[in-house]
Amino acid sequence: MTGNFRNRRAVLKLQHVSDNCFAVLNEKNRVCDANSGLVNLGGGVVVDTQSDLFHARRMIELFGKVWRGMPKRVINTHEDGDHVWGNQLFESAEIIAHRTVPERMKQVAEPGETQKLLKGADSFLSRSILRATHPGALAIARQLGQDYDFDGIKLALPTTLFDERYVLDLDGTEVHLIYVGPCHQVGDTIVHVPKERVVFAGDVIFRQCTPRGWTGTYQKWLEALDLIIWLDPEVIVPGHGSLCGVEGAMEMKAYLEYVREESARYFQRGLTSIEASKRIDLGPYSGWHAPARLYLNVERAYREFRNESADVPWDSAKTFDAVYKVATERHIEVEF
C-alpha cells in the first residue's frame, strides 16, 4: 500500500455554515469522499467521521481550528463505511445513531472486505484475476487506492440509539435527529438545527454527483427530501458534494423522479437494468460526477417494479462491474 500513500491527497476544506455550525467538505467528490459536520456548542457534536483514519485525522485537525477540545458526541447519519470509519478516533465520545445502525454496520461496513480488495489490486496475480473476472472491482480498487488506505480501521459502534427522533440541547440550541430511512440506506437520519436553519442531510442528498442508493425505497427517499424542503433550511450540508440550499433537495427529487420514470419505460420494454442504464438520456445530470452510478438507481427501480424487497443484499463486485460496463459503453470516464 505504500505506493498508494504517495499518490494520496486529501482535499478537505473547512467551511463556516452558520453561527455555530461548520462543515468539512471532501472536494474531489468521488466514492468515499463524504462530508463531516460540526455543531460547535455544548461540548461539540461531530456529524459523520470520514472513510479512513487519514481523512478522519485531517477532519479533526480542520475542525480543531474552531473547537476547544475533542467533541463529546458523534452522530452517524447512517451505516456506510464512508461515514463511520473514523469513529474510533473519538475515543470517549458518545456515538449516536438510529437503532438499526450497529447491526447494519457489521453487515455493510466491515472494513476487511475493502482492505482485501485494495490489497488484491496491489498484487500482480490478484490484479490479473480481478481484471479477468471483475474489471469494475479492479477499477474501483484502483480509484480508492489513489486516495484511501483502509488499514487500521476497527468498527466503533454507536453507543446511543434512537427510534424516530432524538433531541440534543446544546447550551440552549436544539439539535434534532430525525429518522428518515430506509431511503438511501437503512439507518438514514437527518440532523436539523432549527435555530440556525441548518440541515446535515447525510446521503439523503448528493450534490452535483450521482447518488448511490443501497437499501431503501424511492417513496421514502422522496418523502425525506420533501421533509427537508418543508424544514426550509438556509444551508444544507449534503453527505457528498458542496453546500446548498433547498434547491439541492429539489434537484435530488427531480433526478430520482426522472430516473424512476425512465427506468419504468425500459422495464416495460423488457430491457435489463444494465441495458436501460446504457440508454437513459442523462440530460442535465451528465455533468454530475460519476454519471454511470445511474445503474444503482435503475436497478433499485427495477427491484421495485419486480415487487422485490428493498433489503435484498447487493453483490458489490457485480455492481461495480455493472457501473464499469455502463461507463465504458457510454464512452464516459470510469468513475465511481
- Is 33 a binding residue for Zn ion by CB under 5 A? The answer is no
DSSP 284-306: GGGGSB-GGGHHHHHHHHHHHHT
What's the CA gap between 114 and 120, in Å, rounded?
Answer: 10
DSSP state of 15: E
Which residues between 234 and 263 bind Zn ion (CB under 5 A)? 239
Q: Which of 203, 251, 299, 321 binds Zn ion (CB under 5 A)?
A: 203
Angle at 282 between CA 277 and CA 285, to 5 degrees: 125
What's the CA gap between 201 and 145, in Å, rounded?
Answer: 27
Please name which of 78, 86, 73, 107 lies closest in space to residue 189, comparing C-alpha atoms: 78
Q: Phi and psi (nearest 5°) for 72?
A: -80, -20
Whether the CB-CB separation of 41 and 20 falls below 8 Å is answered with: yes
- Is 82 a binding residue for Zn ion by CB under 5 A? The answer is yes
Write down the least CB distance from residue 35 to Zn ion, Å.
9
- Is 149 a binding residue for Zn ion by CB under 5 A? The answer is no
Helix (H, G, I), strand (E, B) or coil at 58: helix
Q: Which is nearer to Zn ion, 82 or 147 (CB)?
A: 82
Q: Which is nearer to Zn ion, 102 or 213 (CB)?
A: 213
* Binding piece for Zn ion, criterion CB under 5 A, among 42-50, 106-114, 186-194, 201-209: 201-209
Q: Which is nearer to Zn ion, 43 or 239 (CB)?
A: 239
Helix (H, G, I), strand (E, B) or coil at 252: helix
H helices of 123-214, in order, are: 124-133, 135-147
Which residues between 260 and 319 bind Zn ion (CB under 5 A)? none
Q: Which is nearer to Zn ion, 203 or 251 (CB)?
A: 203
* Binding piece for Zn ion, criterion CB under 5 A, among 80-88, 116-124, 184-192, 222-230: 80-88
Write down the least CB distance from residue 211 to Zn ion, Å.
9
Amino acid letter, 226: D
* Binding piece for Zn ion, criterion CB under 5 A, among 19-27, 55-63, 82-90, 297-305: 82-90
Q: Which of 25, 31, 34, 130 binds Zn ion (CB under 5 A)?
A: 34
What's the CA gap between 93 and 87, in Å, rounded?
Answer: 9
Write down the least CB distance from residue 203 to Zn ion, Å.
4
Write down the least CB distance from residue 34 to Zn ion, Å.
4
Site string for Zn ion, 207-236 (x = CB under 5 A): ------------------------------
Q: Phi and psi (nearest 5°) for 327?
A: -65, -45
Q: Please give the residue ranges that form the binding site for Zn ion (CB under 5 A).
A: 34, 82, 203, 239
